[in-house]
Amino acid sequence: MRLHPLTSLAAAGSTAVITTAAASWPVSLTVIAAAVGLSFAQGAARRMLPAAAVILVPLVLSLLALHGLFFPEGTTVLAQWGPARVTAQGLQFALERAAQLSAAVLVLLLGSFTVSVPDLVAVLSTRGVNARFAFVLASTLTLLPAISSRLERIRQAQEARGLVIRPGIPGRVAAFRWQAVPLLLSLVEEAGTRAAALQARGFGSAGPITSYRQVLDSPVQRWARVVLLLAALAAIVFRLWQPTAGA
Amino acid sequence: MVQTPPPALAAGIEKFVFPGETEPVLAGISLTLVPGSLTAVLGGSGSGKSTLGRLLAGWLLPGDGGTLTGFFELAGTTVRFTGTAADPQIDPGRWGRQVGFVPQDPAGALSTVRVTVAEELAFGLENAGVDRASMAGAVRDTAALTGLAHLLDRDPATLSGGQLRRLAIGCAVIQRPAVLVMDEPFASLDTDGAEVLAALVRNLAQDGTAVVIMSQRAEPFLHTADTWLVLTGGTVAATGTPAEIVAAGALEMAGVIRPRPLTVARPRAGVDYQSAVNGPTALELRDVSFTYRRTRRRGWFKSQPGPPADPVLHGLSLTLDAGEILAVTGPNASGKSTLLRHLNGLLQPTAGSVLVQGRNIGGHPAGQVSRDVGLLFQQPRDQLFERTVEREVRFGLGRDGLAADQAVQRALAAVGLDHLAGRHPAELPASQQRLLALATVLARRPSVLALDEPTVSLDGPGLDRLDRVVRSTTADGNAVVLVTHDLDYARSIAHRLVCLEAGRLRGI
Ligand SMILES: Nc1ncnc2c1ncn2[C@@H]1O[C@H](COP(=O)(O)OP(=O)(O)OP(=O)(O)O)[C@@H](O)[C@H]1O
Ligand SMILES: [Mg+2]
């Protein structure tokens, strides 16, 4: 069964909050493993893992550099260059932080890569959300697919005129410099013509709007969302109450 | 005395000027559309048809879109424009509920924020707050009327040219507007689609809709219109009943195409026909099969594989000799555009092989194959991406500045656009965009020219250019494959005519 988009977002959000609040590395590692496993099960791994790498690699490296080298409380010194000391405690702290951060990022990415954008747009735009906001939301959420299909069209036009692009991701990345400017200009230009079409079809005008798309929901899912949100709140409260818990 | 019903829409355009221009694009046009009437606005390329259509439909708004002096009268309310800041503003949403519009580029009608044909059809109704049950009914009815019933779950981005046109028409008629404006709606429709559209228009008119059709071709169906308005250079050159206008000979002067009578009866032959030139084989397809991998849009990108689709090409074979002109026809969605994309390697067959000049192109990047095979896309918009006409033609011509200059000059001259080198491609009228796209292909001097519906949106002079280009390329020993729904045109130019049906070619 397909999850209601709000359920999957609530699940991702509260898991991220709870892992951060728990600040315990077994929890973090479990969440990381679960997020990666689910991304494979959902067929989103090929798109999600590169995105995760782009976000996490620099963050983790800077954590290691910062805490691994400069950790005043560290006692077990492993190596020392002037003021910079690598201590076991510092390394451990950095690794724990990295695991915590990775868990939160992965689970949020999993949520956004597996949520059905059309469903989400349909749900939000009929939930009494203001029509203008629904307009902005729908255009923002569909921006990425729109850009990627526009990019594909330009690339094909250029290939048809002799631009040789090697197959695979590296080839496409190398050829991107040819598409960057046309892509930008065409997006700007298209935005103008698109706006006329959308307005004439009543998009963004005042008054109630309805949705043709039917998004399945169930009492179980509604309850699950409430529980998830409460759990996240509880985790935050618990954390504030007991600032040193788990650390 | 018979009382004339009040017009559904009346317009008096004294003058309309685009921002930053001095010359008006439209001047001295008056138009009255009574309920239940069919009006055809005919004119050549750049005569102002599309501008008029967009103005009437509220897609081009006086004020931001340009300076208008004149008036509109819609459903009994008159709005006057004097070309000053004090002019009233048109609310496009309210206007659009009364006036439906099918733009010349059907993709331009789509919201692009909806992922299935059904949702795209329902989009206007959603924004009007129609309840779901009525929406479902309206979507079903409109789909049946426009021949979209089997496509309701498809992603609009994967439709063929003709299917896209039907969708754009469906999106406009689903709201049952009192006035329906359609810009070149017959372009890229097959015979069946044209008949469906004609029946649809007749029904709408019977139900009291005022229909306006802009066209460069005096299609047989348009001869049943109540009024013809012939535009040249943004003003009315002639107006009256079709018979009056034909008698006055106003069409030829305006560059409007009249579906041509067959002048020369060429020797006809089927697939085995040997070309007059009988040169070496330029192109060969051996048992080519192809199936689109159906993907379903979920998440941020298209990913999840959907149910397997039907094969589009199915064991298709073809040989084309140097100097030969082959015309391919066939119903909408039969795979003609898909076939042409195989010729330059943009698509790779799932089985079988494609040989260009005797060399198998399997596994070669499209950019390499494109040196030999030039492809003119079905929609010029898909082919053009540069900032100026000149840069557009020059793209990919190599580093040798002088040779590139010459190639650009030659190509632009061949299509008659050399005086527009500095213009922005998006500002050109549709027929010049098509010719520009053709120039980008010609500049590379390919030995095989693959043209996807090259006649669409060309006016009389444009067609003559195309004719000359096709004939001179083949005279130089190059081969041409062209896809078209215009059988008369195909017969007049091609050595051989084949029909693509059920994934295979058959001679006709
Ligand atoms: N990118 C795509 N993904 C999936 N299916 C596609 C895609 N492009 C085209 N199709 C489908 O493949 C079939 C053939 O399409 P194609 O565009 O080749 O038809 P065509 O003969 O050129 O039609 P037309 O006369 O309308 O231009 C159609 O059913 C079309 O919907
Ligand atoms: Mg096509």
Instruction: State pLDDT tens for residues B97-135.
Output: 999 999 999 998 998 888 899 999 999 999 888 999 999
Domain limits for position B364: 281-372+446-507
Q: Same domain for B161 and B197?
A: yes
Per-residue model confidence (pLDDT) at position A115: 84
Could B300 and A139 be called an inter-chain contact, meaning their C-beta atoms sit closer than 8 Å?
no
Nearest-atom number in ligand 1 for the CA of B151 is 31
Q: Same domain for B241 and B300?
A: no
Q: Same domain for B248 and B368?
A: no
Is residue B481's pLDDT more than 50?
yes
Per-residue model confidence (pLDDT) at position A92: 87
- Tell whether ligand 1 has an atom less than 6 A from the beta carbon of residue B158: yes
Q: Same domain for B66 and B151?
A: yes
Nearest CA in chain B to A186: B385
- Tell whether ligand 1 has an atom less than 6 A from the beta carbon of residue B58: no
Q: Same domain for B18 and B143?
A: yes
Per-residue model confidence (pLDDT) at position B20: 87
Q: How far is A24 from chain B (nearest CA, A)?
A: 31
Q: Same domain for B98 and B178?
A: yes
Is residue B266's pLDDT more than 50?
no
What's the CA gap between B300 and B240, in Å, rounded? Answer: 54
Mean pLDDT of all residues belonging to chain B:
88
Longest dimension (CA), chain B: 77
Q: Pick the residue with more confidence: A225 or A80?
A: A225
Is residue A229's pLDDT more than 90?
yes
Beta strands in A30-168 (DSSP E): 77-81, 84-87
Is residue A246's pLDDT more than 50?
no
- B185 CA distance to ligand 1 middle (Å): 19
Q: What is the spatial order of strands in the sheet that B351-356 belongs to?
A: B313-321, B281-290, B351-356, B359-360
Enter the DSSP assignment of B417: -
Q: Same domain for B192 and B43?
A: yes
Could B127 and A164 be called an inter-chain contact, meaning their C-beta atoms sit closer than 8 Å?
no
Per-residue model confidence (pLDDT) at position A1: 56
- Tell whether ligand 1 has an atom less than 6 A from the beta carbon of residue B273: no
Is residue B273's pLDDT more than 70?
no
Question: B167 pLDDT band (50/70/90 cuts)?
Answer: very high
- Tell whether ligand 1 has an atom less than 6 A from the beta carbon of residue B334: yes
Per-residue model confidence (pLDDT) at position B278: 60
CATH classification at residue B494:
3.40.50.300
Per-residue model confidence (pLDDT) at position B307: 56
Closest C-alpha residue for ligand 1 atom 24: B332
Per DSSP bridges, beta strands B9-17 and B504-507 are unpaired
In a domain, B268, yes or no: no
**B273: closest CA among B12, B483, B496?**
B496
| Ligand located closest to B190 CA | 1
In a domain, B4, yes or no: no
Could A189 and B58 be called an inter-chain contact, meaning their C-beta atoms sit closer than 8 Å?
no
In a domain, B221, yes or no: yes
The per-residue pLDDT for range B205-239, each reduced to its tens digit, is 999 999 999 999 998 899 999 999 999 999 999 99
Is residue B389's pLDDT more than 70?
yes
B392 contacts in chain A (CB < 8 Å): none
Q: Which of B93, B385, B444 is nearest residue A205 as measured by Cβ atoms? A: B93
Closest C-alpha residue for ligand 1 atom 31: B159
Could A118 and B58 be called an inter-chain contact, meaning their C-beta atoms sit closer than 8 Å?
no
- Tell whether ligand 1 has an atom less than 6 A from the beta carbon of residue B484: no
**Residue at token pair 């060429």:** B266
Mutate to test the pocket of ligand 1, among B188, B292, B501 (most ligand atoms within 8 A of CB): B292
In a domain, B174, yes or no: yes
Is residue B275's pLDDT more than 60?
no
In a domain, B128, yes or no: yes
Q: Same domain for B326 and B238?
A: no
Most trustworthy range by pLDDT among A78-87, B72-81, B264-273 = B72-81
Q: Please report, rounded to a whole number, the percentage of residues in chain B having pLDDT higher than 70.
A: 92
Q: Which two tokens stand for residue A52?
A: 């995760």
Q: What residues contact A240, with CB distance under 8 A and at least 6 apart?
A: none
Domain boundary among B254, B289, B304: B254
**B108: closest CA among B171, B52, B155?**
B171
Closest C-alpha residue for ligand 1 atom 6: B158
- A176 CA distance to ligand 2 middle (Å): 27
Q: Same domain for B35 and B75?
A: yes
| Ligand located closest to B336 CA | 1
Three-state secondary-structure class, residue B153:
coil
Could A160 and B377 be called an inter-chain contact, meaning their C-beta atoms sit closer than 8 Å?
yes
Q: Same domain for B338 and B470?
A: yes
Question: A99 pLDDT band (50/70/90 cuts)?
Answer: very high
Averaged pLDDT, A196-203: 88
Query: How many domains, in total, are found in chain B?
Result: 2
- A43 CA distance to ligand 2 middle (Å): 32
In a domain, B275, yes or no: no
In a domain, B501, yes or no: yes
Q: Same domain for B70 and B17?
A: yes
Question: A131 pLDDT band (50/70/90 cuts)?
Answer: low
Mutate to test the pocket of ligand 1, among B158, B186, B332 (most ligand atoms within 8 A of CB): B158
Question: A44 pLDDT band (50/70/90 cuts)?
Answer: confident
Per-residue model confidence (pLDDT) at position A243: 63
Q: Same domain for B202 and B340?
A: no
Per-residue model confidence (pLDDT) at position A244: 61
Q: How far is A25 from chain B (nearest CA, A)?
A: 30
Mutate to test the pocket of ligand 1, among B151, B159, B160, B377 (most ligand atoms within 8 A of CB): B160
What's the CA gap between B436 and B417, in Å, rounded? Answer: 7
Q: Which two tokens stand for residue B241?
A: 């009943």
Q: How far is B342 from chain A (nearest CA, A)?
A: 11
Per-residue model confidence (pLDDT) at position B180: 96
Domain boundary among B209, B235, B254: B254
In a domain, B33, yes or no: yes
Q: Which two tokens stand for residue B351?
A: 């089985």
Is residue B168's pLDDT more than 50?
yes
Per-residue model confidence (pLDDT) at position B448: 94
- Tell whether ligand 1 has an atom less than 6 A from the beta carbon of residue B395: no
The per-residue pLDDT for range B25-43, each reduced to its tens digit, is 999 999 999 999 999 999 9
Per-residue model confidence (pLDDT) at position A85: 77
- B453 CA distance to ligand 2 middle (Å): 7
Alpha carbon of residue A201 to chain centroid: 32
Q: Which two tokens stand for residue B245?
A: 């206008």
Averaged pLDDT, B490-496: 91
Lowest mean pLDDT among A143-147, A162-166, B92-96, B418-422: A143-147
- B332 CA distance to ligand 2 middle (Å): 7
Domain boundary among B254, B269, B289: B254
Enter the DSSP assignment of B91: -
Is residue B262's pLDDT more than 50?
no
